[in-house]
Amino acid sequence: MAVEQPLQVSPSGEQTRIHNIGYRTYDGPRLGRAYARRSLYSQSLRGAYGLGRSVKSKVLPMLLFVVMCVPAAIMVAVAVATKAKDLPVDYTRYAIIMQAVISLYVASQAPQSVSRDLRFKTVPLYFSRPIETADYVRAKYAALASAMFILTAAPLLVLYVGALLAKLDFADHTKGFAQGLVSVALLSLLFAGLGLVIASVTPRRGFGIAAVIAVLTISYGAVSTLQAIADAQSLGDGQGSAGAITWIGLFSPVTLIDGLQSAFLGAKSAFPGGVGPTNGEGVVYVLVTLGLIAAAYGLLMRRYRKVGL
Amino acid sequence: MYDPTVARLTYRALLGRRRALILGALPLLLIAISVVVRGLAGADDQTASDLLGGLALATMVPIIGVIAGTGAIGPEIDDGSVVYLLSKPVKRPTIIFTKLIVAIAVTMVFSAVPTFIAGFILNGNGQQIAVAYTVAALVASIAYAAIFLLLGTVSRHAVVFGLVYALVWEALFGSLVSGARTLSVQQWSLAVAHKVAGGDLVTSDVGLTTATILLAVVTVLATWYAGQKLRTLTLAGEE
């Protein structure tokens, strides 16, 4: 029937007309690229804590956030109740102790942030808006890094407020708190970068989670095992081979941050033997950390330069 | 109880190119580290035991178990293609059992074999350490695969919960609360390894009888319940 239609219509030329069905052009304000980037940032940040998503997806990030803060609250409560001279744990050490929770957070939220866009092929839709590759990458990176900073800085804030309530030394604790904030900021940038690079390769969320956690925990497990062996060796033959321990520490994100903060941010090292890197070696730690963050950004830019359908 | 077609599909889903890469990278890393340690420290029983216990059994086996166990069924449920499998005249428990066999086989190949090789590199199977940890890895593979396969049918966030169990419960709580160690696959498999090695290098907090019974009960129960879960599976939409 549809094929016959043109034959019937074509002779009656005067009956054809164009209906005005009310299409309008948009003449309101155009909010532009910066606005789109800001929206993507805030939506990704909210999404990292499950805000604006289903109840089920709020459970895990909120639970991890609570798990991060509860030990800090307990320490503060104990310190206040027993009128202790100092907090039981340093500001810089807290993130190192809770690294399993931080790793789980980044492993669960990095794929949530980018893998779903790949899987449901929404990335081309983003790029049909005024934003460009750099905007998408920056917004996602900044959002995950901010989310991780909130996760890692909140317990430090609890500790700091608790220390002030317990009337501990103000100057000392402000300095420790500031050092802790710098350290967790670097940690957030590093972990978020690693997580996003790994997650942006796979459209499968579950696989992304496993890959991120494998990289973080296996590298830490391998490095700390090797360090323990190097430490036992140096004790055994009596000569200090602390150098080996330090250089091995460069190969996992957690020990990288640990070494960096014990060199420059006044932290006590969690390395076996308690020997952190010296200032000279610390410079290498800083360079490697910044290099990794830059590399993560570069790789993400490369990854999203061409995102096919 | 075993369906070759389901097994073939599962193998392909598990060992697709990228999955095979990450599954293969972990064992290679373990072997590389053992070579380095052997070069640095020479053959030492305590070192070998620490490395195999700390890295291979505590970290690598659970992670490979999570990838293989949840990967055997999770993605299919996730993208809804499991309905095509469920609509075939194959019993649901058969599907689960087949997938379990595949998951166990993959976990064993990628965790127990490299453990054995690493053990030989580290100290040439002195005091039966390589064999003991290989047996532990084999036993743990069965239990982990069954538990994580069940998680894959129960939850959409199976990977996260599996990792929470493996890393937070076994590693963190296990080191703080000694009671948590009674309920840990790692300790059960260590009990079996202790029996094999005989010496004091491989120790466990759980007795051999308790460990064996718990291992068997957990594996059978998890497989049975996964089969039940699959019988009444509801496909939820993407959140």
pLDDT tens string B44-58:
788 888 888 888 888
Confidence of residue A244 (pLDDT cuts 50, 70, 90): confident
Which residue range is the domain that position B36 belongs to? Answer: 4-231
**pTM of the complete model:** 0.84
A109-128 residue pLDDT tens: 999 899 888 888 888 888 88
Which pLDDT score is estimated for B239? 47
DSSP helix/strand/coil, B73: coil
Q: Does residue B41 fall inside a structural domain? A: yes
Q: Does residue B238 fall inside a structural domain? A: no
Task: Reply yes or no on whether the pLDDT at A23 is more than 90.
Answer: no
Q: Does residue B189 fall inside a structural domain? A: yes
DSSP helix/strand/coil, A269: coil
**A226 and B36: CB-CB below 8 Å?**
yes
Q: What is the DSSP string of B143-164?
A: HHHHHHHHHHHH-TTHHHHHHI
Give the ipTM. 0.79
Q: Does residue B176 fall inside a structural domain? A: yes
Which phi and psi angles does A130 have, rounded to 5°?
-65, -10
User: How many structural domains comprise chain B?
Assistant: 1
Cα distance between residue B43 and residue A183, in whole Å:
39
Which pLDDT score is estimated for B126? 77
**Which range has the worst mean pLDDT, A76-80, A300-304, B22-26, B88-92?**
B22-26
Q: Give contacts of B 101-120 with A, CB under 8 A.
A: none
B150-192 residue pLDDT tens: 999 888 788 888 888 887 787 777 777 777 788 888 888 888 8
Which pLDDT score is estimated for A140? 95
Q: Does residue B227 fall inside a structural domain? A: yes
Asked if B131 has any chain A CB less than 8 Å from its own CB, the reply is no
Nearest to A226 by CA among B134, B82, B40: B40
Minimal C-alpha gap between A229 and chain B (Å): 7
Which pLDDT score is estimated for A1? 43
Tell me the H-state helices in B59-110.
61-71, 74-79, 82-86, 92-107
Q: Does residue B106 fall inside a structural domain? A: yes
Which pLDDT score is estimated for B180? 77
**A210 and B67: CB-CB below 8 Å?**
yes
Task: Reply yes or no on whether the pLDDT at A270 is more than 90.
Answer: no
Cα distance between residue B99 and residue A220, in whole Å:
31
Chain B environment of A103 (Cβ under 8 Å) = 167
Q: Does residue B139 fall inside a structural domain? A: yes
Confidence of residue B207 (pLDDT cuts 50, 70, 90): confident
What's the Cα-to-Cα distance from A41 to each of A146, A190, A202, B40, B200, rounded to whole Å? 10, 18, 21, 48, 55
Asked if B205 has any chain A CB less than 8 Å from its own CB, the reply is no
**A222 and B55: CB-CB below 8 Å?**
yes
Q: Does residue B199 fall inside a structural domain? A: yes
**Per this entry, what is the length of chain A?**
309
A194-233 residue pLDDT tens: 999 999 988 878 888 888 988 898 888 888 888 887 887 7
**A104 and B40: CB-CB below 8 Å?**
no
Q: Which of B29, B59, B74 sits opposite A206 (nearest CB)?
A: B74
Give chain B's mean pLDDT.
85
Minimal C-alpha gap between A151 and chain B (Å): 17
Minimal C-alpha gap between A278 and chain B (Å): 23
Non-local (6+) Cβ contacts of A249 within 8 A are A223, A227, A255, A256, A258, A259, A271, A277, A285
Chain A environment of B78 (Cβ under 8 Å) = 204-206
